[in-house]
Each structure stands twice: as structure tokens, then as C-alpha cells.
Amino acid sequence: MKAALCTISLLFLACTPVCAVAEEAEHPTITRLKALHEDTDDLAVAYYLARVNNLVGHEGAALDWLQYLVAQKWRMGVDPTDFVWKSHAAAAGPVIDDLQELMRSAASPGTSDTSLVLPNETLLPESVAFDPRTGTLYAGSLRENLIEFLRLADPSGQPGSLQPADGRGVFYGLKYATDTGDLWALSNPVDLAGDVPPAVIIVNTADNTARSIDGPVGAELNDLCLTSSHAFVTDSRQHKIFVASRENPSAMLTELYSDEDIRYPNGISCTVDGTRLYIGDYRSVIRLDLAVGSDGEVGAQGHVRLKTPAGISLGGLDGLYLWQDTLVGVQNALGAPKIVVTQLAGDDTVQVKNAELHDLFHPAYRIPTTGFIEGGCLHYIASSSMDALKPDRSLDPDVAAPVPSTLLGFNLGKTGNKCILTVR
């Protein structure tokens, strides 16, 4: 799920919310980001410095950071909704144009096809999952305790619904386990600061029965990936990675890994052999190596950040997926919305071979989020309409009404075939 701007400002947690202290000369978040940038030269951090300075009304400083990004040939563009200009609008326009042109010059040929359009425009899904055996698509609602499913072979085109009794409020990440026929769904309370714990809901799609695994109170369970033996879950609010056994029905969700270097972990992908995780946070993609003991317990061996070509960043990815040696992410929280496709260089290196930028300024976009890979294609939500939600998850009358969610399909194999979602 895309991080709100005030969430970005709280990545260091030790400071007062940026949104509350616009009068201060320099907010502690800005001080911490500047120190981090001095240590790392990370252009993603420079982009966040531009955003946060703009938020607190320091438009001159925000413009300075954007000009710095032009000088550094930042290729990730600018999301116009990230900035509100009052006194510096005239000066900011040409700088943003330069950044958008740098991104366009780095764009790769090829765009996604319209894969499917969901019929319920008020569902507002953050995540989708797919059962290829039955041709059933599942979509979880950000508004209520509801998962809709659409059977592609059903001529009526009307969705069915699941409302798990133990759902905690709304749904974030979904994954379908083809080996067991279970749907794994992350259910979070609307009030993340309340005393209701989030949960992993596992639905047996054969009979629609469900069981749940509680997460810790105060966590925000955002996304997950599955191996044959374990489920791995990101907690974006408490900056942690959790694990649960898939082989033990009474398994608990236990902390696998956390580190001060990791903030707002979101998208996550597992290798097939279960020895490595790729995790997207606000700055880049992290590789976390795993070890499985003789007792089946999983342990983490430490993390490294992937290195990218100059001007390219893998920060702010919502959905993150591994296909063969290709790592692809939906980037909605850093720069212009797009998908980023990279090739991993090998088992022991953290340098990616290249990075392709696709679907820039796609007309279907309204906060793209997550998806799944099927048949060599990434199918992902292009129009979640989550900007139409108020904090209490009601619709905001001052924002454009939600639109039916469009799924786009991108051909990772570059076979030339269109990526249209169909029954096998």
C-alpha cells in the first residue's frame, strides 16, 4: 500500500509529525534525512527531502533539492501530486519539466495491455490474487471487510464475495497458494493505533472456511510472499519482517528481522527455494538471505541493498515480484508512478544489470499498487482510487469518485503476446 506523505515523514519515528510543525525552521525529519543523504548520496533521500521541505512550506529548499536531482540526472521523474507550490510555482515548473524529460529519455519501449477491468468501482482494491486452475481472480477491499472474487469463465461477469468472520477491517496484500488452494490475505484494522491486532487470514477456497493468525497490536501488515513451507510478511508501521509456518496450522506470526536501516518495508518476493527475500522499502530493494535449520525454523542472515545504475532508484515500490532472474516492482511512492523492471546479475552480487522504466504516465493510472505474475505476465492494479478514501475509509466527497479498477498486463518475457487475463 502506498505510503502517505505524512507517513514518509515519520520514517524515523523519533520526531514529531512533519504535518504538525510547519512553522519550525528545520524539522528533525529533515535533519535526519540530510544526515542520511550525506552518508549515502542516495538520490531517493534527496527526493524525499524535496517532498518534506515542500510539505512544511520551505519551497526554496524543496526547489534546491529538485535542481540537485536534475544535476544528478535523476531518471525516476516527479509525481505532480507530491508537491504543492505557492510562492515558487513559476520557478518549479521548468525544473519539474527537466526531471520528467530525463525520465522519458530513460524509458524503455513497450507498455502494458489492459488485462481486466473489475466491475465494482466502489471496491477500491489494494491487492489482487489469481487461481490459475479455476480462472478465479480475488480482490481485497480497502474500504471494508470484503474480498470479491470473479470467475473469468462465468458469463454473467458478476463477482462473488467473501467476508471472513475474523477480518479486522480492510485488506492489504493477497496471495493465492496454488499448492494448497488457500488464499492468504492481510487484514488490518482501520485504526492502526487502536488495540485491535491485524491478522493473516487464510481462506480455504474450496469451502470458504477461514482461520487467522494474529499479528502484533500496532503493526500494519502490508504485503506477503509464500514458499512451500513459510509465509513472509512485511510490517510497514513497525518496520519489521515476520514469518509463519505454512505446515503448522497453529503457527504464530513471529518476528524474523528488523534493522534501523530498513524503513517502511512494503513489497516482498521470495525465491523458489526459500533461501532469499527481496523487500522494497522507501529507499531501495533489500536482499535478505535466509537459513533454514534442521527443525524447520527460519533465520535471517543479514541484509544488503541492491545497487542500481546511476540515476535509477528502486525505492517506493508497492508490489514487488521475482520472475526467473527478473525483479519487477510497481513504483508509486517515489517519483512518477511506473513499473520498474530489473535483471539480477547473479547469486552473489547486489548490482542489478539494468533497469527498464515502463508505463510512464499511463492513462489508466490512479495510484497503481500490486498484482501477481501469471503466464510470464505481470498483472497489476493500475487504478486503485485509494486517493478517494478518508482516514476512516469512507469516501471523500471532495475527491473525484472512484473509478472501476483496471488491471494492466505487462509481458515480462517480451514474447510479443498481449497479456490478457484468461482461464488456462
Residue 4 confidence class, pLDDT cut points 50, 70, 90:
low
* Angstrom distance (rounded) from CA 159 to CA 86: 45
Grid cell 505510503 — which residue? 3
- pLDDT for 216-242, tens place per residue? 999 999 999 999 999 999 999 999 999
What is the enclosing helix (H) or strand (E) of 234? strand 230-235
Torsions phi, psi of 152, nearest 5?
-65, -25
Q: 338 vs 349, which has greater pLDDT?
A: 338
- pLDDT for 302-313, tens place per residue? 999 999 999 999
Asked whether the beta carbons of 185 and 173 are under 8 A apart, the reply is yes
Q: What is the pLDDT of residue 135?
A: 94
Residues 6 or more apart in contact with residue 176 via CB below 8 angstroms: 129, 130, 131, 138, 182, 183, 184, 205, 372
Q: Which of 155-159, 182-186, 333-337 has the lowest mean pLDDT?
A: 155-159
Residue 36 confidence class, pLDDT cut points 50, 70, 90:
very high
Asked whether the beta carbons of 199 and 166 are under 8 A apart, the reply is yes
Confidence check: pLDDT of 13 > 50: no
Q: How far apart are the first and last CA of the chain?
A: 29
* Angstrom distance (rounded) from CA 105 to CA 7: 31
